[in-house]
Amino acid sequence: MRKIGVLVSGRGSNLQAIMDRIADGFLPLEIAVVISDKEDAFALERAGMAGIKNVVIPRKGCASKEEFEAKITAELQAAGCELVVLAGFMRILSADFVNTWEHKIINIHPAILPSFPGLHGQKQALDYGVKVAGCTVHFVDAGTDSGPIILQKVVPVMDDDTEDSLSERILVQEHIAMPEALKLWAENKLEIVGRKVRIKA
Ligand code: GRF
């Protein structure tokens, strides 16, 4: 079974979706470690309840970003992870970290990239007035939400949507998209060609 590490900062509903799809046999993967930069992240409890190793690495406990990321890499490597999944991890990773894990980091973003990268993708979409929104699962490169796209899911934007109602609608799709992308990765069906991700049959 291929091993992955999941980086989180908060609620962990995407982590839960991955755990659920492993438990029901859809995903042929093992979560070897969950790492949070926030000690009060509910995601840690979710991992603990599932018997998954979980570790807190607070940024403020490290003298530099390099040290912080070196600790994360050490945990991931010690656990034998082949892939790093960012599931609501709220820190920008350095180019060094991204190079160490080149083509081995997957992120989920709550917008149809390349529109609305960065924070509050759902609010950005709502404020802009788009008629469809959604989520994107992508490989991480050194930019912000700019790496090769694996898959995207679309939802309608309603006239009376609030940031919360739109976020909820998108989240349902996030919980489908991330496991789908991870299954493709686990089955070696993703091939990165320049900016594009080809999905092999
Ligand atoms: C999700 O909306 C995800 O797209 C974004 O952060 C949120 C994390 O939610 N990157 P959760 O912690 O997985 O519930």
Mean pLDDT, range 52-58, rounded to an integer? 98
CA-to-CA dists, residue 173 to 36, 170, 185, 194, angstroms: 23, 5, 18, 27
- Pair of tokens at residue 98: 């991204």
What's the pLDDT score for residue 159?
97
Q: Is 109 a catalytic residue?
A: yes
Give the DSSP letter of residue 42.
H
CA of 39 to the centre of ligand 1 (A): 17
Contact 108 CB / ligand 1 (< 6 Å): yes
CB of residue 121 inside a 6 A radius of ligand 1: no
pLDDT bin (cut points 50, 70, 90) of residue 105 is: very high
CA–CA separation, 192 vs 195, rounded Å? 7
SS3 state of residue 145 = coil
% of the chain residues with pLDDT over 70: 100
Average pLDDT over residues 7-14: 98
3-class SS of residue 63: coil
Give distance in angstroms: CA of 12 to centre of ligand 1: 7
Compute the average pLDDT of residues 72-81.
98
Q: pLDDT averaged over the chain?
A: 97
Buried b (16+ CB within 10 A) or exposed e, 140-158: bbeeebebbbbbbbebebe
Give the Cβ contact number of residue 35 at 10 Å: 26
Q: What is the rounded average pLDDT of the residues 122-139?
A: 98
Between the CA of 160 and the centroid of ligand 1 the distance, in Å, is 23
pLDDT recorded at residue 19: 98
pTM of the entire predicted model: 0.97
Shortest CA distance to 20 belongs to which of 79, 87, 84, 75?
87
Q: 87 in ligand 1 pocket by Cβ < 6 Å?
A: yes
Task: For 137-196, write each residue's pLDDT tens digit.
Answer: 999 999 999 999 999 999 999 999 999 999 999 999 999 999 999 999 999 999 999 999
Which of 8, 11, 14 to mutate to test ligand 1, by most ligand atoms within 8 A of the CB atom?
14
User: Helices (DSSP H) in 24-162: which residue ranges?
Assistant: 42-49, 65-78, 95-100, 121-128
C-alpha distances out from residue 82 to 30, 76, 78, 185, 186, Å: 10, 8, 11, 11, 10
